[in-house]
Amino acid sequence: MIFYEPHARDRSLLPHDPFKQLIAPRPVGWISTMAINGDVNLAPYSFFNAFSGAPPLVGFSSEGFKDSASFAQESGEFVWNMATWDLRDKMNATSAPLPRGSSEFTHAGLETAPSKLVRAPRVAESPASLECKVTQVVRLNDLTGEATDRYLVIGQVIGVHLNEAYLREGMMDITLMKPIARCGYQDYAVVDKVFSIKRPPGGGNQAGGG
């Protein structure tokens, strides 16, 4: 086994940081936001996940205070959109560093769809979107207690949009939606197959968990 401390890896053996390949696959938080002045923004965040089912909480982390974090903080709202196999190139196009005020929707050739409870629009082509209200913006500390330039934006889901074309017997069919997930650097995974495992008996609701 190789062991190293993150700041001291052997760069001749490991020129790329394995960290982002180890916490993988990471779901893509495809985040749409609207600034107070009406500017619309859309960008992918793979430092993204769900943290609680009840209340339903999701969060994304911004490396530097980027537009998505800034717009989410000032408006108190954001929308998560599912990135799928069919939308992979458009998702990638929305990561372009465009100047403030020019919409990644237009840049990537995506349609906006109105949200119901927040001002930020949804990605019309996406099979599922979550309207969220910001609950916390946490500036992350490092081990020394120093504040870093990393910001975790957490939001509570207040509205859910599902394209019913993907509904099968009361459940969203994940293998039809084909969400994509990031595996580090330019690599992605696509969920086109699932397997099921029953949980051990006795856990009950107390066990909870995602």
Ligand X SMILES: Cc1cc2nc3c(=O)[nH]c(=O)nc-3n(C[C@H](O)[C@H](O)[C@H](O)COP(=O)(O)O)c2cc1C
| Cβ atoms 173, 165 nearer than 8 A | no
| 68 near ligand X (CB under 6 A) | yes
Which residues fall within 8 angstroms of residue 151, CB to CB, at 6 or more apart? 61, 62, 65, 69, 137, 138, 139, 140
For 46-146, strand residue ranges (E) read 48-53, 56-63, 77-81, 112-113, 122-123, 128-141
135 vs 148, which CB is nearer to ligand X? 148
52 vs 73, which CB is nearer to ligand X? 73
| 97 near ligand X (CB under 6 A) | yes
| 66 near ligand X (CB under 6 A) | yes
Of 44, 127, 155, 184, the one binding ligand X (CB under 6 A) is 44
Which residues fall within 8 angstroms of residue 149, CB to CB, at 6 or more apart? 63, 64, 65
Of 59, 67, 72, 115, the one binding ligand X (CB under 6 A) is 67
Q: What three-state secondary structure class fits 76?
A: coil
Tokens 């039809």 correspond to what residue?
Answer: 176
Shortest spacing between CB 65 and ligand X, in angstroms: 9
- Torsion sign (Cα): 6, 12, 15, 19: negative
| 62 near ligand X (CB under 6 A) | yes
104 vs 131, which CB is nearer to ligand X? 104
Stretch that binds ligand X, among 61-69, 111-119, 164-172, 201-209 (CB under 6 A): 61-69
Of 4, 17, 63, 141, the one binding ligand X (CB under 6 A) is 63
| 32 near ligand X (CB under 6 A) | no
| 153 near ligand X (CB under 6 A) | no
Shortest spacing between CB 105 and ligand X, in angstroms: 11
What CA–CA distance (Å, rounded) separates 96 from 106?
A: 12
Tokens 């650097």 correspond to what residue?
Answer: 185
Binding site for ligand X (CB under 6 A): 28, 41, 43-47, 61-63, 66-68, 92, 95, 97, 182
